[in-house]
Amino acid sequence: MDLFKKYLDELIINNEIFVIGAGGWGTAISNVLAENKFKVKLWAFEEETAANINIRHCNSTYLPDVQLHHNISAFSDINIIENQNFFISAIPTQFIRATFNNSKINLTNKKVLNLAKGIEVNSLLRCSEIFYELNVNTDDYAILTGPSHAEEVGLQQPTTVVTSSEEIGFARFIQILLSNNYFRVYTSQDIVGCELGGSVKNVIAIAAGIIDGLQFGDNTKAALITRGLAEMTRLSVALGANSLTLSGLSGLGDLIVTCNSQHSRNRKIGELIGQGKSLNDIIKQMQMVAEGIETTKSTFALAKKHDVDMPIVEKVYQILFENLNPTDALNQLMTRKFRHELW
């Protein structure tokens, strides 16, 4: 608790915490913080979302079934955080760089907790690496990840997640900051494993949705989750992660929930594709960002770059961007060259 008080005194001004990004997850985390007695300032890109939060205490676009705590207020000028020592970023991966580059904010010496899960297209950088390029110090960065649908966190359903930072003191600060009787946070120092687990599981979730759309059963889904986890682990270890991390909340835990839940946007995209709908039509109808679409491009490219065999990721990429028929993709996976299970 002394460590927590030290960080609290150094990082949080006037008991206020700033959350950047008023999507479902940023809003849900804001509610957790508000329940923990903090005053939360929530930045919304859309002015109408900010007004909705301030007037109705609801985010009807991104978290419609949750009444927001009275300690939450919204704003739309991101430059207000210039004088803050600490903030939480809930900006989708592909927009992190542009959002901060377009602002007047200097991120040097600011501590950041990132909530996004993804790999930047073209650069193939994880979220931590994007923030490092934006001048955030390695010890000043943490990620929060794990099986945590915003809809369920907003309804205060018991949830466990993991926060990872190279600076374990910062991770422990985040743990105490966010934990309560329905939201439990574990700590890690394996940023690579936590970030890749949270990112690549969205690609596997699209594959899981395709299985649902094709109306296959439990055997097929279990095979997909198990072999998908193997692919996630191979890539993560190749990039320096601890394989055990992928058996934890940021890997297996997040993979299970995202592949099976009706809340999962990535799984839903796959389901619609399995039912014969086109990716372009699906994207046009979506209100919220599904990280898995762009992460499929990034993961496929990352696997090629590091010579990691990821056959499921390859087939999802070919289905989304090369018009491979989902049934043909499944047949190709099932008739691949025989292998030992552990490789």
Residues 146 and 162 in one domain: yes
Compute how many other C-beta atoms are within 10 angstroms of the C-beta atom of residue 85.
Answer: 14
Q: What percent of the chain has pLDDT over 70?
A: 99
Rounded Cα–Cα distance for residues 90 and 289 (Å)? 12
- The pLDDT tens digits for 241-297 are 999 999 999 999 999 999 999 899 999 999 999 999 999 999 888 766 678 999 999
Same domain, 16 and 120: yes
Read off the pLDDT of residues 225-242 as tens digits, 9 standing for 90 and up: 999 999 999 999 999 999
| H or E stretch covering 170 | helix 168-178
Whether residue 41 is contained in a domain is answered as yes
Q: Of 189, 210, 236, which closes a domain? A: 189
8 or 252, which is more confident? 252
Res 4: pLDDT: 80
CA distance 44 to 63: 13
- Residues β-bridged to residue 185: 161
Question: CA-CA distance, 85 to 83, in Å (whole number)?
Answer: 7
pLDDT at 68 over 60: yes
Q: What is the CATH number of the domain that holds 221?
A: 1.10.1040.10
Nearest Cα residue to 18 out of 90, 70, 67 = 90
**Residues 184-214: tens digit of each pLDDT:** 999 999 999 999 999 999 999 999 999 999 9
83 inside domain: yes
What per-residue confidence (pLDDT) applies to 287?
Answer: 67
Residues 169 and 204 in one domain: no
**Position 342 in a domain:** no
How do strand 141-145 and strand 86-89 relate by DSSP bridges?
A: unpaired
Contact by Cβ (8 Å): 43, 30: no
Tell me: do 159 and 84 sit in the same domain.
yes
Residue 9 clears pLDDT 80, i.e. is over it: yes
- CATH number, domain containing residue 63: 3.40.50.720
Report the chain's mean pLDDT, rounded to a whole number.
95
Indicate if 214 and 311 belong to the same structural domain: yes
Is 175's pLDDT higher than 70?
yes
Question: Which of helix, strand or coil describes residue 158?
Answer: coil
Q: State the Cα–Cα distance between residues 147 and 310, nearest whole angstrom.
A: 23
At 79 the pLDDT is: 95
Judged on CB neighbours under 10 Å (0-12, 13-18, 19+), 112 is: buried
Number of domain units in the chain: 2
* Confidence bin at 58 (pLDDT 50/70/90): very high
Mean pLDDT of 100-105: 94
Mean pLDDT of 136-140: 97
Residue ranges making up the domain that contains 34: 2-189
- Asked if 201 is an active-site residue, the reply is yes
Q: Is residue 147 part of a domain?
A: yes
Q: What are phi and psi of 168, to 5 degrees?
A: -60, -30
Whether the per-residue pLDDT at 71 is higher than 80: the answer is: yes
Mark whether 30 and 157 lie in a shared domain.
Answer: yes
Structure-model confidence comparison of residues 343 and 246, the more confident one: 246
- pLDDT value at 100 more than 80: yes
Percent of the chain with pLDDT over 90: 92
Regarding whether 156 and 67 lie in a shared domain, the answer is yes
C-alpha 101 chain-centroid distance: 21
Q: Which residues contact 205 (CB under 8 A, 6 or more apart)?
A: 255, 258, 259, 264, 266, 267, 270, 292
Q: What is the mean predicted confidence (pLDDT) over 148-157?
A: 97
185, 199: one domain:
no
For 119, counting Cβ atoms within 10 Å of its Cβ (0-12 exposed, 13-18 middle, 19+ buried), the class is: buried
| Per-position DSSP letters for 298-324, written without gaps between them | HHHHHHHHTT---HHHHHHHHHHHS--
Compute φ and ψ for 65, nearest 5 degrees: -95, 10
Q: Which amino acid is at 82?
A: E
User: What is the separation of C-alpha 191 from the centre of its chain, rounded to a whole number of angstroms?
Assistant: 13
Has residue 340 been placed in a domain?
Answer: no
One of 117, 201, 268, 315 is an active-site residue; which one? 201
